[in-house]
Each structure stands twice: as structure tokens, then as C-alpha cells.
Amino acid sequence: MPVSVAEDLDRWLADHWDPELGLREWRAVLVDSGWARPAWPGEWWGMGLPPADAAEAQRVLAEAEVVGPPSTVAVNLVAPTILQHGSDLLRSTFLRPALVGDHAWTQLFSEPGAGSDLAGVTTRAERRAELPGDTWIVNGHKVWNSGAQDADHGLLLARTDWDVPKHRGLTCLVVDMRAAGVHVRPLPQMNGYATFSEVVLTDVRVPAEHVLGEVGGGWAVVNAMLANERSLGAGAGTVPVPGNVAGRCRREAAEEAARAARHFSWYPQRYGRADLVAAARSADPLVRQQIARVVTLARIAAWSAGRARANLRLGRVAGAEGSLAKLMTSELARAAAVAHAQLAGPDVLLGDTLTAEILLSVPAVSIAGGTDEIQKNIVAERVLGLPKDPTSDAHVPFRDVRRNGPAEPSGAELSGAELSGAEPSGAGS
């Protein structure tokens, strides 16, 4: 009689799981066994299991409170993208360290003049075959980069061809965030945190073999990564850190999670904390109506997330379901913010309170990972089949497109110190 995935994993854990192992030591055992990402191909630290079986394995690990891979940008966003689009060299170099927790990553996508219109980036990468090892030279300015101040590597979207339409002249590169010419400066937010940074790249050298995907094919890579990001709220994350901290491995995992969360402790607040609204009571009938609306939207958002999770279990590529889930998340956060304001009163922003942090954080959820407007376009075009918005720049060389900022930025124009008059922090400064 065939052994189920749960039985197979239970037996393996009985022989290998030791909560007194060091965190990195245990993760190395888990990753090399294939159980960390059982849906991945066997040659890339997986087992080639169907998505439903992989989800069952994740359930077993969670119920046993076994430490899994870290829930990070490296694991949730970068690793699946490298697995899908990367060369064998990039896979062998970066996948295992991400799962073990050795590498931290950041996205280097948005720019001051290219946010929602991401295909309009002007960060320039030029191939210089005469340099040792065949090298790309990168100059540009990125912004709103989560965790860049702690990152070892960045996934960069750069323009490599100015003589083709904007979507076709883009290339993704893996950048060493400690390389000379990489300047990182944290950006203070109105809620008092500095989760994001701006990154200036001045004559940064990137090996030719660090191109992710095809040269000129960066738009497909970016879309794959953003689809993963939008699905995170729909259950595409990893096994969480166990609540039980007994044993060295669990303690070290909890400490790792606390270090990683120091810049992100406000993230629950940006989603509106609907749980606090649902527990609130008010004698005001209008406030009660708003509380009821929040509870209703929370249930709808949970159903939408469940649909996205079901598609993931079926092995479908993350698509418009992620956009729908993200739109529901934004709507819920805004409704919860209104309820918090009604419950707390007009002087709520005068004090340093959790409610004030919620109100100052909620706007971020409608921007991060693609604005609500972009998500609505995705749903309109890919779900409803509506025609795309008319555009004047889709079929002309990007060099001829009117835009803000320099036509072809150079390192000299974008030195880190010139941006604010202060010496930038981070590598290369």
C-alpha cells in the first residue's frame, strides 16, 4: 500500500528533526532532503511533488512546529523567480543560500520617475565585453526598496536597449549590494519607521552571467516576481516560525525573525488591524455600521485569499487572483482605518498610539506591490477581457518617449551625495 506524503514526512522527521540543532545546521539538513520545497524539481533542492502534496508537507511541518525556511523576500519572491527564469549557474549559486537563510535580498525596481509605469525605468546597464569576464556597467537611481539596508543581493531592473519599445528593452540583473558604487540611504516614513531605502548605483559592475532570464526579457521576469508578491497575502508564504521556542533551533529561528522584523513591525498596522475593529463596541449606530462593514470585508477578503490558495495548490501560476486579493486587502484596510478613527475620535493623531500608527500606515497597502489602479487594470484586461488603455509609447523606441528625468542617466549625474547633500550610507559610500 503506497505511503502518503504525511506518513513519509513523519518518518523522516522522526529520524532527522532535532530541536537542539543550530538553525543553519537544521535548515541545511531540511533543504538538502528536499522537504523545504518539495514542489521544486529534484535537481534544485526539491522532490518534484504535485502542489497538493507539497501543501500537505507544509501542513505537517507546521503542525509539528518544525522550523522551515525563513519567510523573506529571498525565499518568497526571489527564489521562485530564479527557479523559473534563472540559468543553472544562478540556481546553483543562489537558491540553497536563500532557503538556508544565508542571503538577504531586495527588489531594485521602482524609480523616482517610474513607479506604476515600471516599464519606464531609466536605470542604464551597458555591456562592456572588453572588461574582465564580460561585464555590465550600471548607473541609475532606485527608490522604495524594502530592506535594502540589510540586503546582500538585489534583483535589478535596468534598461539595456533604448532603441526598442519600453517593455522590450529591459533586463534583470543580480547585483551585489556590497559592490563598489552601490549607495543605500533609508527613507524616513510618516509613521516613524524607515523600512524602505533609495539606492543609487554609480558605475556598478555586474558579471554578464548574473543576467536573470534573457537580455531584453526583463519584463517577463518582473511580472513573475510581482505575481508572487501579490499572492503572498493569499497564502504563498513559508512555514512560519513556531510559537513553541523550546530547543536551540526554535530559539534561533525566533531571534532571526525578530531581527528581520525590526524594520517591519508596522506591517500588521498597514493592513488596518481588522481584528481590533471586530472586537470593538460602540453605542453609535453609524460606528456599528462601519464595524459591520469591516467584518464583512474581512470575510470576503478571506474567501478571495482562499481561492488564490486553491489555485496555488492546483499548480497554477499566480495571476489575476493575486490582484483581486490585493484589492480586497486594500479595501479592507481603508475601511478598518475609518472605523479606528471613528472609535478613537478626532484627537487620535495627537498621541503616539497604536491607532495613530494604523492610520499613518494604511495608505502603504494601496501602493506596495503595485497600486490599486494597476491591479484594477490587470483585472479589467485579464479577467473581464476589456480593451487596454490607449497609449502613445507602446510601439516607439524608448529613446523617443517623452518622460520625466534624464534621457540617458550617467553615474556622474546620479552620485549619492548630490541627492541630499549628505554622504550616503551602505556599501560603496
Percentage of the chain beyond pLDDT 90 is 57
Q: Which of these, 333, 334, 321, 323, lies nearest to 371 by C-alpha position?
A: 323
Residue 253 maps to a domain: no
Pair 337, 404 in one domain: no
Q: What's the whole-number mean pLDDT along residues 96-100?
A: 96
Distance CA 375, CA 305 (A): 15
Residue 347 maps to a domain: yes
Burial class (CB in 10 A: 0-12, 13-18, 19+), 338: middle
Last residue of a domain, one of 364, 382, 400: 382
Domain assignment of residue 35, given as a range: 5-69+83-102
Residue 243 maps to a domain: no
Residue type, 281: R
From the CB of residue 316, how many other CB atoms can be counted at a distance below 10 Å?
A: 12
Pair 98, 112 in one domain: no
pLDDT, position 379: 87
Average per-residue pLDDT for the chain:
86
Pair 401, 354 in one domain: no
Pair 121, 89 in one domain: no
Looking up residue 304, the CATH number of its domain turns out to be 1.20.140.10
pLDDT, position 238: 39
Determine the distance from the C-alpha atom of residue 429 to the mean position of all C-alpha atoms in its chain, rounded to a whole number. 26
Write out pLDDT tens, residues 5-19.
Answer: 999 999 999 999 999
Pair 367, 410 in one domain: no
Q: What's the whole-number mean pLDDT along residues 40-56?
A: 92
Q: Which of these, 143, 184, 108, lies nearest to 426 by C-alpha position?
A: 184
Distance CA 100, CA 27 (A): 5
At residue 42, φ and ψ (nearest 5 deg) are -60, -35
Residue 221 maps to a domain: no
Determine the distance from the C-alpha atom of residue 336 to the mean position of all C-alpha atoms in its chain, rounded to a whole number. 24
pLDDT beyond 90 at 174 = yes
CA dist list (Å): 140 to 143, 176, 188, 201, 299: 10, 15, 21, 5, 43
Residue 370 maps to a domain: yes
Q: Which of these, 174, 184, 230, lies nearest to 206 by C-alpha position?
A: 174
Grid coordinates given for 11: 518518518
Cβ contacts of residue 342 below 8 Å, gap of 6+? 282, 284, 286, 287, 290
Cβ contacts of residue 355 below 8 Å, gap of 6+? 340, 341, 343, 344, 348
Half-sphere exposure (CA, 13 Å, Cβ side) for 45?
24
**Which is more confidently placed, 157 or 302?**
157
pLDDT beyond 60 at 305 = yes
Pair 378, 270 in one domain: yes
Pair 370, 284 in one domain: yes
Write out pLDDT tens, residues 19-41.
Answer: 999 999 999 999 999 999 999 99
Write out pLDDT tens, residues 247-278.
Answer: 999 999 999 988 887 778 888 899 999 999 99
Pair 18, 123 in one domain: no
Which contacts (CB < 8 Å, 24+ apart) does range 21-24 have? 21/248, 21/249, 22/248, 22/249, 22/252, 23/67, 23/101, 23/248, 23/249, 23/252, 23/253, 23/256, 24/100, 24/101, 24/102
Distance CA 69, CA 239 (A): 7
Write out pLDDT tens, residues 57-78.
Answer: 989 999 999 999 998 889 989 9
Q: Which of these, 115, 198, 216, 119, lies nearest to 154 by C-alpha position?
A: 198
Residue 250 maps to a domain: no
Element (H, E) at 128: strand 124-128
Q: Are 51 and 312 in contact (CB under 8 A)?
A: yes
From the CB of residue 368, how many other CB atoms can be counted at a distance below 10 Å?
A: 18
Pair 367, 288 in one domain: yes
Element (H, E) at 146: strand 135-146
Q: How confident is the model at residue 244 (pLDDT cuts 50, 70, 90)?
A: low
Cβ contacts of residue 244 below 8 Å, gap of 6+? 65, 250
Q: Which of these, 261, 270, 288, 281, lies nearest to 354 by C-alpha position?
A: 270
Q: How confident is the model at residue 167 (pLDDT cuts 50, 70, 90)?
A: very high
pLDDT, position 134: 86
pLDDT, position 410: 43
**Whole-model pTM above 0.75?**
yes
pLDDT beyond 70 at 317 = no
Report the number of distinct structural domains present in the chain.
Answer: 3
pLDDT, position 405: 56
Residue 135 maps to a domain: yes
Percentage of the chain beyond pLDDT 70 is 87
Distance CA 137, CA 205 (A): 5
Q: What's the whole-number mean pLDDT along residues 38-45?
A: 95
Looking up residue 116, the CATH number of its domain turns out to be 2.40.110.10
Pair 354, 396 in one domain: no
Pair 293, 397 in one domain: no
Residue 234 maps to a domain: no
Pair 147, 196 in one domain: yes
Q: Are 230 and 83 in contact (CB under 8 A)?
A: no
pLDDT beyond 90 at 136 = yes
pLDDT, position 121: 94
pLDDT, position 237: 34
